[in-house]
Amino acid sequence: MALDRSNPVPNDLSAFWMPFTANRQFKKTPRMFVSADRMHYKTADGREVLDGTAGLWCCNAGHNRPKIVEAIRQQAGELDYAPAFQMGHPKAFDLANRLRDLAPPPFEHVFFTNSGSEAVDTALKIAIAYQRAIGQGTRTRLIGRERGYHGVGFGGISVGGIVNNRKFFGTLMTGVDHLPHTHLPAQNAFSRGQPDHGAHLADELERIVALHGPETIAAVIVEPMAGSTGVLMPPKGYLEKLREICTRHGILLIFDEVITGFGRLGSPFAADHFGVMPDMITCAKGLTNGVIPMGAVLATKDIHDAFMQGPEHLIELFHGYTYSGNPIASAAGLATLETYREEGLFERAAEMAPYWEDAVHSLRDCPHVIDIRNMGLIAGIELEPIPGEPTKRAFSAFLEAYEKGVLIRTTGDIIAMSPPLIIEKAHIDQLVGTLRDILHRLH
């Protein structure tokens, strides 16, 4: 059917099979954004909606930022596409250099992908190939964590630990095991920042190593702060223990920083924030402010150089994507990093974090709230489920919030918020105040 130009909403919604969406519910009462600027979306019916989620954890600099918009426009007219295999273009190298300079010192090389999911699968492949390159070819096993989210590729859902993301898709990859998750509500409820209890859960890696043998394990992958599962903070000392155990047994440690990268915790990366250095970092989302799909794997010099052997005319790593380092995505990435730098947005996130923390924890006494977790400009508010109807209470809060002019996210019965780093105190007050009113009216 043709689009009615007087109405921005198409009159036929049936063709688009929407991702991670209750399609039937949505298409009965669609929620459509038609424009965005800085902290707000605009709906098809002309209402402003405060963005409490930075889009999908990705629009860290807010929306419609002039430098990014202009960079995309200019690049599209100059060089729209260049082959990624055996050819290059300057901006991909410029962006890799900028990322190297932004990242902690161990990371000197960047492999570009098109999403966080692809970055994860790339890092897992590099880990296994690296072990083979250094003569450890028996190391093929991968260790993830319960409740972990690592995208939707087969590698990512195999090492991931969110049940509904896994159970419909068969046996997945073999040779994968999982650490226990770190959510201990009985001991850590309403923690501010890192919880006190749970570092001992890292010791489970020693049990897994003993079970399979260290010579079989290539890598461990974890989110330093788990986002999509409901905002789970690493207990104090937990990441340090994982690093120590991996180092002792020759296992690579991968941090999935698709959410935590680019200022979300007040630092360029969570590795900076926690002072724990993995061997690889996956990133995406905030890399281009969510404007153009792009992801990356940051690798240490040791990992990269292990592949740079043999005749120089031979391909060192048989992996990549048609759009790796795409010119327009690279231009968007450069403009995004420049926007972060010029506006001091990482530092701003750190400065706003205490106000944010106090605001979200003021919801502690609201009905149905059983836990609140926060770090940087992230918060998770866990609600008591309705008996026999899991997820319904939080989803009802999401729908009500949209009607009241704020955008939140839910996962299970957990409300997740991660606003753009340009958020003002008045926006925090509006976001939390609206949520407080909703929680008092929820059944």
Structural domain contains residue 17: no
Structural domain contains residue 285: yes
Instruction: Give me the long-range contacts of 403-406 (CB less than 8 A, separation at least 24).
Output: 404/434, 404/437, 404/438, 405/47, 405/48, 405/49, 405/50, 405/434, 406/49, 406/50, 406/52, 406/430, 406/431, 406/434, 406/435
Tokens representing 376 are 């940087």
The pTM (predicted TM-score) of the whole model is 0.96
For residue 103, the 8-state DSSP code is S
- 240 and 186 in a single domain? The answer is yes
pLDDT of residue 134: 98
pLDDT of residue 1: 35
Which tens digit of pLDDT belongs to each residue from 129-177? 999 999 999 999 999 999 999 999 999 999 999 999 999 999 999 999 9
- 400 and 318 in a single domain? The answer is no
- 119 and 172 in a single domain? The answer is yes
Structural domain contains residue 58: no
Residue where a domain terminates, one of 308, 325, 343: 343
Residue where a domain terminates, one of 343, 374, 396: 343
- 85 and 228 in a single domain? The answer is yes
- 367 and 218 in a single domain? The answer is no
| Edge-to-edge order in the sheet of strand 40-43 | 33-37, 40-43, 48-51, 406-407
**Residue 245 and residue 249: Cα distance in Å, rounded?**
6
Structural domain contains residue 119: yes
Domain that holds residue 428: 23-52+344-441
pLDDT of residue 6: 58
Nearest by Cα to 261 from 222, 309, 225, 306: 225
- 339 and 358 in a single domain? The answer is no
Cβ(287)–Cβ(259) under 8 Å? no
Tokens representing 264 are 């979300």
- 238 and 367 in a single domain? The answer is no
Structural domain contains residue 10: no
Show the low-confidence residues of the chain (pLDDT under 50): 1-5
pLDDT of residue 7: 66
Task: Output the CA torsion 268→270→273→279 (10° steps).
Answer: -100
3-state SS assignment for residue 249:
helix
pLDDT of residue 3: 42
Which CATH number fits the domain that encloses residue 320? 3.40.640.10
Amino acid at 127: A
- 325 and 386 in a single domain? The answer is no
Structural domain contains residue 182: yes
- 381 and 264 in a single domain? The answer is no
Residues 6+ apart with CB under 8 A from 203: 241, 245
- 416 and 374 in a single domain? The answer is yes
3-state SS assignment for residue 415:
strand
Structural domain contains residue 61: no
Return the residue matching tokens 């990371």. 107
- 227 and 368 in a single domain? The answer is no
Domain count, the chain: 2
Residue where a domain terminates, one of 343, 378, 406: 343
Which CATH number fits the domain that encloses residue 360? 3.90.1150.10
Structural domain contains residue 5: no
- 161 and 45 in a single domain? The answer is no
